[in-house]
């Protein structure tokens, strides 16, 4: 990108909104947005520029504004609660002792494995393990080719070694027997490649932490557990809409796995832990422990330190800075409740405006359906890469909103909800799996039944009241400081890494 005083040469046209309409305030030659007289990627969305070495730098020193933290939710809460909470202080003291035990275990090699290229909370969770582990521990990340380059960069910068597989097993829905057979074949090929890699590139005694269903990938997990300590993190409760015969089969498989000394399960929330234990005999319950979905306090603090540019960002998207703004972050898919979010946008378009930040472009069918809701003036779909390159930049983008809302149909406990809470946003979400553990009705936000779009909209409508919005924002911020802290979650995992039985 060029220096000030000229237009950049790129012809790429950055678009925003459901219909991908141009962002306002653009460079006249490249159509990228201007900010403070310079040509940036979007108006206040990508607060970055490329210098002569093509490195990306934050614009924290350009057009710096006073943060006015004293008037923000975060500032007012921080002023009343100076210093860390007792839970965090106690955790820090406890972790100091645990750290000594982790380091005393000596060098460990941990292989983090997932067979798909889409990413979300599970990958943020794995990244937190790499970032917080003792320096003498070595991490390998084993993933398919085509995995997100920015995500891979984050792992590499954290010190992990990257290895790539040729087979991909993305979790796509299968319709009909033929598609289901093809999906199973993809799974088997992926698992065969993982096993071949493990035999050739890892050593007996390594630790394996893998994203795989313990009710499905039994053969793979047994072979890994015979080679080294093996762990699986399960974010969701087991599906309930299946036959009793299938539940009995799942119970047999998981009982066989957990009867192996070197195999253990983590539940990403208490609901998942409790549900999985119902499939197991009582003597195996101790091998299913909690390791909560977590957020990076470092990223949150970095986001809070960035200047707030709400007027620029929302104006650049063609939205009104003075209007109450609702944000959702995640894949734009049915199980995330995307159409309920659009229905709420339609019902509340006179008083609220809505933003969904997602990792992929809308296809033609999705864009057409969004258009049918008639919310062109009050809804925008923003690509994650336009919201920010780093997670901290994306979290800074959250701060342009007043409310975080996610009407999920099926989730564990989304990391994005915890991140929004840590940023001081009130939450509206659904009573699904682990979500009620964080979203406490009328304390940290409002919770409704999944699939009830009018109730979801009504809950958002309640937050039109400023005192209610402020009270719930402060409750969300307080709840995020404690058991959901990153160090608490990773400490539980590291304890099991060193204390679990070897094969």
Is residue 144 over pLDDT 60? yes
For the entire predicted model, the pTM comes to 0.73
DSSP string over 88-126? HHHHHHHHHHHHHHHHHT---EEEEE---S--SHHHHHH
Q: What is the pLDDT of residue 171?
A: 65
Q: What is the pLDDT of residue 181?
A: 85
Nearest to 397 by CA among 3, 16, 2: 16
Query: Which two three-digit tokens encode residue 314?
Result: 């929302």
Query: Which two three-digit tokens encode residue 142?
Result: 């084993």
Q: What is the pLDDT of residue 173?
A: 63
pLDDT band at 78 (very low <50, low <70, confident <90, very high): very low
Strand 352-358 and strand 324-329: the pairing is parallel
Write down all domains in the chain, each with its CATH number in brackets.
106-294+488-499 (3.40.50.2000), 302-480 (3.40.50.2000)
pLDDT band at 88 (very low <50, low <70, confident <90, very high): low
Nearest to 412 by CA among 467, 470, 336, 488: 336
Q: How far apart are CA 486 and CA 124, in angstroms?
A: 10
Of 59 and 120, the structure prediction assigns the larger pLDDT to 120
Strand 34-35 and strand 38-39: the pairing is antiparallel
Q: How far apart are CA 174 and CA 180, in angstroms?
A: 5
> What's the whole-number mean pLDDT along residues 464-479?
96
Nearest to 482 by CA among 294, 273, 298, 266: 294
Q: What is the pLDDT of residue 180?
A: 78
Residues 6+ apart with CB under 8 A from 302: 392, 395, 396
Q: What is the pLDDT of residue 446?
A: 98
Mean pLDDT of the chain: 82
Which region among 25-29, 35-39, 145-149 has the lowest average model confidence (pLDDT)?
35-39
* Residue written as token pair 């069918």: 365
Q: What is the pLDDT of residue 15?
A: 36
Are the beta carbons of 59 and 396 closer than 8 angstroms? no
Nearest to 269 by CA among 291, 241, 238, 242: 291
pLDDT band at 33 (very low <50, low <70, confident <90, very high): very low
Q: Would you say the C-alpha torsion 332, 333, 339, 341 has a positive or negative sign?
A: negative
List phi, psi (to 5°) of 209.
-125, 110
SS3 state of residue 347 = helix
Are the beta carbons of 214 and 221 closer than 8 angstroms? yes
């Amino acid at each position: 990108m060029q220096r000030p005083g000229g237009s950049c040469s790129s012809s790429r046209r950055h678009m925003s909104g459901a219909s991908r309409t141009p962002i306002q305030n653009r460079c006249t030659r490249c159509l990228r947005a201007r900010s403070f007289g310079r040509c940036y990627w979007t108006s206040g969305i990508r607060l970055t520029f490329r210098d002569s070495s093509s490195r990306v730098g934050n614009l924290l020193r350009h057009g710096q504004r006073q943060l006015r933290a004293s008037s923000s939710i975060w500032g007012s809460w921080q002023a009343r609660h100076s210093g860390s909470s007792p839970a965090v202080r106690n955790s820090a003291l406890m972790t100091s002792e645990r750290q000594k035990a982790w380091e005393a275990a000596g060098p460990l090699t941990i292989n983090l494995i997932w067979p798909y290229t889409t990413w979300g909370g599970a990958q943020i969770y794995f990244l937190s393990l790499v970032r917080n582990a003792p320096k003498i521990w070595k991490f390998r990340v084993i993933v398919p080719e085509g995995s997100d380059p920015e995500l891979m960069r984050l792992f590499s910068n954290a010190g992990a070694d990257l290895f790539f597989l040729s087979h991909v097993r993305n979790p796509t829905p299968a319709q009909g027997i033929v598609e289901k057979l093809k999906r199973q074949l993809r799974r088997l090929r992926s698992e065969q490649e993982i096993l071949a890699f493990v035999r050739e590139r890892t050593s007996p005694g390594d630790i394996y932490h893998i994203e795989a269903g313990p009710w499905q990938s039994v053969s793979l997990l047994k072979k890994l557990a015979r080679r080294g300590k093996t762990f699986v993190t399960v974010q969701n409760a087991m599906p309930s809409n299946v036959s009793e015969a299938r539940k009995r089969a799942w119970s047999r498989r998981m009982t066989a796995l957990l009867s192996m000394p070197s195999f253990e399960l983590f539940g990403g929330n208490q609901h998942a832990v409790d549900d999985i234990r119902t499939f197991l005999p009582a003597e195996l319950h101790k091998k299913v422990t909690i390791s909560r979905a977590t957020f990076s306090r470092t990223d949150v603090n970095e986001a809070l330190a960035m200047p707030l540019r709400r007027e620029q960002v929302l104006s650049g998207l063609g939205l009104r800075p003075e209007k109450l703004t609702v944000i959702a972050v995640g894949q734009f898919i049915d199980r995330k409740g995307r159409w309920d979010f659009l229905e709420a946008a339609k019902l509340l378009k006179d008083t609220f405006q809505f933003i969904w930040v997602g990792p992929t472009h809308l296809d033609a069918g999705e864009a057409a359906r969004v258009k049918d809701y008639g919310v062109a003036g009050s809804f925008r779909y923003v690509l994650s890469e336009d919201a920010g390159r780093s997670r901290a930049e994306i979290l800074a983008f959250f701060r342009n909103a007043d409310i975080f809302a996610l009407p999920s149909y099926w989730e564990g406990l989304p990391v994005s909800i915890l991140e929004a809470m840590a940023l001081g946003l009130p939450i509206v979400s659904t009573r699904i799996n682990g979500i009620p553990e964080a979203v406490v009705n009328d304390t940290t936000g409002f919770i409704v039944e999944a699939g009830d779009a009018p109730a979801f909209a009504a809950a958002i409508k309640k937050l039109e009241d400023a005192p209610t919005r402020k009270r719930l924002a402060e409750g969300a911020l307080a709840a995020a400081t404690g058991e959901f802290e990153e160090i608490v979650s990773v400490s539980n995992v590291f304890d099991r890494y060193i204390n679990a039985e070897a094969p």
